[in-house]
Amino acid sequence: MIVPPDTPETCPSWPQPIDDAQALLEHFQQGDVVDVQRLAVTTALGHRIVPAPHGAVVLSQTCDLVQRNRLTAQLALLRRLPPAEAKPARSGRRPRFVLVPEAGEGDMFADLEFVATISKADLAGLKRSAGVSSRREQRVFAQRIGRRFTRFPFPDEVQPWLRPLEELLEKKAGKTESPEGKVLQDVLEVRVESEHGWTETEPPYDLTVTFLLDNVLSADYPDTPEQLRIWLTGRDGSSRRGASEIAQKLLSTHDPDERTLLYDALAEAWADRCRAASKSSDPAVSTAVASIRVEVVPVSEYTLDRMYRSEQLDLDYLSPPKPL
């Protein structure tokens, strides 16, 4: 592909008019895979030409591609991920990577860490193939691109409280040989809400961590059967089972009431990892959160106003870019 000139004298002449190529762009859409061998990107090390052995993915919206007054388009590096990384990325837990379903067998992703701008005149001359096909795939693709660039930055002093949970999700998600990994297959999102909002308040924060499930809970919240209560806490109510034990028991029961209660117990066990930050030697961290409330909610019952008030927890920033 053509790399634009970088001298002040020549920059105003780029990109070239695309009138002759515009008709070709009517066949392009967001999510298309284009046949390029390299991309010109900006990294922490400066401007670089990076290899693109699998090509690149069109990020620009389809409406921008077909409009004559839009002279450039954005491409992302197309990357194949190994199975352990592909599974959480497919579920949307790795915002850096966006699945391109038609490009492989669930293992090809647009890597949003490496994005290049190309003249639409040059784009029109590239061989293309569909990376997304159905309207549902197109919608998911667009949403996940948007999420990458609109994620909420949790306050610095709150990050150490959330990091243990993020590390758990990164470690267990997709690991079906692990009881916790199997249970996490039912978790669609983890959302974090501050009781009094994030922008108008100062620490300490009262947090609610919500695990959104794929509608696998009992319709009516049940009372805890005595036998299950004793199993979870002991007769004196002081002991607590570990997360792995709870997950294993949850997988072994089909009773909807028991599953509802066990999901709650498992979420509390996961949240205990976060509460350990109260013992931090840094006072700004140890006092940043006053309380953490945990809940497990079917996604169909999570209201739109709560969605607006909360922020999604993800794994992306824990994984540094892969070297090229």
Bridge pairing between strands 205-213 and 289-298:
parallel
Q: Looking at residue 166, what is its pLDDT?
A: 86
Question: CA 252, CA 196: separation in Å to the nearest integer?
Answer: 39
> Which sequence spans correspond to the domains of the chain?
11-150, 159-318
Question: CA 35, CA 103: separation in Å to the nearest integer?
Answer: 12
Buried b (16+ CB within 10 A) or exposed e, 259-281: bbbbbbbbbbbbbbbbeebeeee
Q: Looking at residue 18, what is its pLDDT?
A: 55
**CB 207, CB 293: distance < 8 Å:** yes
Whole-number Cα distances in Å, 235 to 230, 272, 302: 5, 21, 34
Q: Which of 182, 177, 165, 298 has the alpha carbon at shortest distance from 250?
A: 182
Residues 6+ apart with CB under 8 A from 238: none
Question: CA 90, CA 76: separation in Å to the nearest integer?
Answer: 17
Question: CA 94, CA 87: separation in Å to the nearest integer?
Answer: 10
Helix (H, G, I), strand (E, B) or coil at 163: helix
Indicate whether 315 pLDDT > 50: yes
Question: CA 126, CA 95: separation in Å to the nearest integer?
Answer: 27
Q: Which of 49-58, 84-93, 292-301, 315-324 has the lowest mean pLDDT?
A: 315-324
Q: Looking at residue 150, what is its pLDDT?
A: 72
Average pLDDT (32-42) is 91
Q: Looking at residue 95, what is its pLDDT?
A: 83
**CB 50, CB 77: distance < 8 Å:** yes
Side by side, the strands of the sheet bearing 33-34 are 97-99, 108-119, 72-80, 56-58, 33-34, 128-129
In the chain the first and final C-alpha atoms are separated, in Å, by: 18
User: In this predicted model, what pLDDT tens digit does every residue of 208-240 receive, in sequence order?
Assistant: 999 999 876 766 666 777 888 888 887 666 667
Q: Which of 11-15, 18-22, 133-137 has the lowest mean pLDDT?
A: 11-15
H or E, element range at 83: helix 83-90
Helix (H, G, I), strand (E, B) or coil at 136: helix
Question: CA 41, CA 74: separation in Å to the nearest integer?
Answer: 11
**CB 208, CB 200: distance < 8 Å:** no
Q: Looking at residue 221, what is its pLDDT?
A: 64
Q: Looking at residue 319, what is its pLDDT?
A: 40
Kindly state the DSSP code that residue 238 receives in the 8-state scheme.
-
Give residue 108's Cα distance to chain centre: 16
Q: Looking at residue 174, what is its pLDDT?
A: 67
Mean pLDDT (the chain) is 83
Average pLDDT (284-311) is 92
Q: Looking at residue 76, what is its pLDDT?
A: 95
Indicate whether 130 pLDDT > 90: yes
Q: Looking at residue 238, what is its pLDDT?
A: 66
- pTM metric for this prediction: 0.66
Largest CA distance in the chain: 80
**CB 295, CB 268: distance < 8 Å:** no
Question: CA 140, CA 146: separation in Å to the nearest integer?
Answer: 10
